[in-house]
């Protein structure tokens, strides 16, 4: 479906994207992560044909991307771009017609989405009268009204309350089910963990982590043990080879270990204590992100 092949982009002297490659298949949700300025928006703009890469190519269904093909893509930009004096209905009609749809089809799709997002009563209201969260929903509808094959979402959840985050997540999953390939950026790692099977983490335009989330976690090796119990020998645990840190967390302690083998040594130390919980967990994506992007990782 989408193939980004070895793209590099400079702004003058500034290297924004550095030999980046990835693929996103039909019905796949792909996360493009990275700290501020890592090159995510630049990558999206290149995929959309809004910017030319200095080298490398982007293919959509085997064809090199050009302006005509971008009709098959929906794009929600990071900086929201609605015409706020228009009504919701006129705005969506405007975008739908630009994408070559019939008015009747646009209105049918629009009603479906307004109902899904619980904003049917705003159909004839001016966009500027809507809350930021509801404007964001309209922005989303404008990007998917033409049923794109590929959907690009730059920070789609920022500024949404938890209920609206759930509504948008459901909408994205519904599109995935219909076969849409989805690629999105977010700084909210918990959402990425929930959602993306596959991801890339960029640092200064270069991928520092890439692949399937499951594999990434397995390869990372470091793990966390959550223990709840009475009189735990914290100093003893800290001394075990392979224990990286021991921290109290919400009435429990969290022991970070170098790899899974260390868990048995920790267990030996506490097995005679009064324990009510002993959970061994993979590192969170947030931890992996900080380790890889913060440059403190030696794994
Ligand atoms: P954020 O998470 O903050 O949105 P990002 O990952 O989307 O960041 P980009 O906007 O792609 O990052 O920017 C990548 C780099 O390119 C940054 O160093 C940025 O300052 C630089 N850059 C982006 N656009 C331009 C431009 N038009 N001219 C010059 N430099 C630019």
114 HSE (CA, 13 A, CB side): 16
Report how far residue 16's alpha carbon sits from residue 40's, in angstroms, rounded to the nearest whole number: 9
Report how far apart, in Å, the C-alpha atoms of 232 and of each of 132, 214, 238, 251 are.
Answer: 48, 32, 11, 12
Pick the closest to residue 155 from 175, 177, 140, 174 (CA basis): 140
* Atom 4, ligand 1: residue with shortest CA distance: 36
* Atom 23, ligand 1: residue with shortest CA distance: 42
Q: Where in the chain is the domain with CATH 3.40.50.300?
A: 2-216
Pocket flag, ligand 1, residue 45 (CB < 6 Å): no
Got the DSSP string for 214-261? HHHHHHH--EEEEEEEES--HHHHHHSTTEEEEEEETTEEEEEESSTT
Q: Kindly give the confidence (pLDDT) of every residue in the chain, 299 residues in length, as a single tens digit, with 9 standing for 90 and above.
A: 899 999 999 999 999 999 999 999 999 999 999 999 999 999 999 999 889 999 999 999 998 888 778 889 999 887 777 788 899 999 999 999 988 899 999 999 999 999 999 999 999 999 999 988 899 999 999 999 999 999 999 988 888 888 888 899 999 999 999 999 999 998 888 888 888 889 999 999 999 999 999 999 888 889 999 999 888 899 999 999 999 999 988 889 999 999 999 999 999 998 888 899 999 999 989 989 988 888 554 44
Pocket flag, ligand 1, residue 11 (CB < 6 Å): yes
Mode of pairing for the β-strands spanning 198-203 and 29-34 = parallel
Architecture of domain 223-282: 2-Layer Sandwich (3.30)
* Atom 31, ligand 1: residue with shortest CA distance: 11
Q: Are 94 and 136 in contact (CB under 8 A)?
A: no
CATH class of 2-216: alpha beta
Pocket flag, ligand 1, residue 16 (CB < 6 Å): yes
Pocket flag, ligand 1, residue 207 (CB < 6 Å): no
Pocket flag, ligand 1, residue 14 (CB < 6 Å): yes
Q: Where in the chain is the domain with CATH 3.30.70?
A: 223-282
């Amino acid at each position: 479906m989408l193939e980004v092949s070895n793209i590099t982009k400079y702004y003058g002297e500034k290297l924004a994207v550095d030999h980046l490659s990835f693929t996103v298949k039909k019905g796949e949700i792909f996360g493009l992560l990275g700290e501020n300025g890592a090159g995510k928006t630049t990558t999206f703009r290149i995929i959309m044909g809004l910017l030319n890469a200095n080298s490398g190519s982007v293919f959509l269904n085997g064809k090199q991307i050009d302006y005509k093909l971008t009709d098959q893509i929906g794009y929600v930009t990071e900086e929201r771009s609605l015409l706020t004096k228009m009504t919701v209905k006129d705005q969506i009609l405007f975008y739908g017609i630009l994408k070559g749809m019939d008015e009747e089809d646009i209105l049918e799709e629009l009603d479906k989405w307004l109902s899904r997002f619980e904003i049917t009563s705003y159909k004839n209201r001016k966009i500027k009268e809507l809350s930021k969260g509801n404007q964001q929903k309209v922005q989303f509808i404008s990007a998917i009204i033409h049923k794109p094959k590929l959907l690009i979402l730059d920070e789609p959840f920022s500024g949404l309350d938890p209920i609206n985050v759930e509504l948008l997540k459901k909408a994205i999953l519904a599109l995935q089910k219909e076969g849409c390939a989805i690629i999105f950026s977010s700084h909210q790692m918990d959402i990425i963990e929930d959602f993306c099977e596959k991801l890339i983490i960029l640092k200064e335009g270069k991928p520092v982590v890439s692949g399937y989330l499951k594999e990434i976690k397995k390869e990372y090796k470091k793990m966390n043990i959550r223990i709840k119990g009475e009189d735990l020998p914290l100093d003893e645990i800290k001394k075990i080879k392979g224990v990286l840190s021991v921290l109290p967390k919400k009435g429990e302690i969290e022991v970070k270990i170098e790899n899974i083998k260390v868990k048995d040594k920790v267990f030996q130390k506490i097995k005679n204590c009064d324990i009510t919980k002993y959970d061994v967990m993979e590192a969170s994506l947030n931890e992996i992100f900080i380790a890889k992007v913060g440059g403190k990782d030696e794994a």
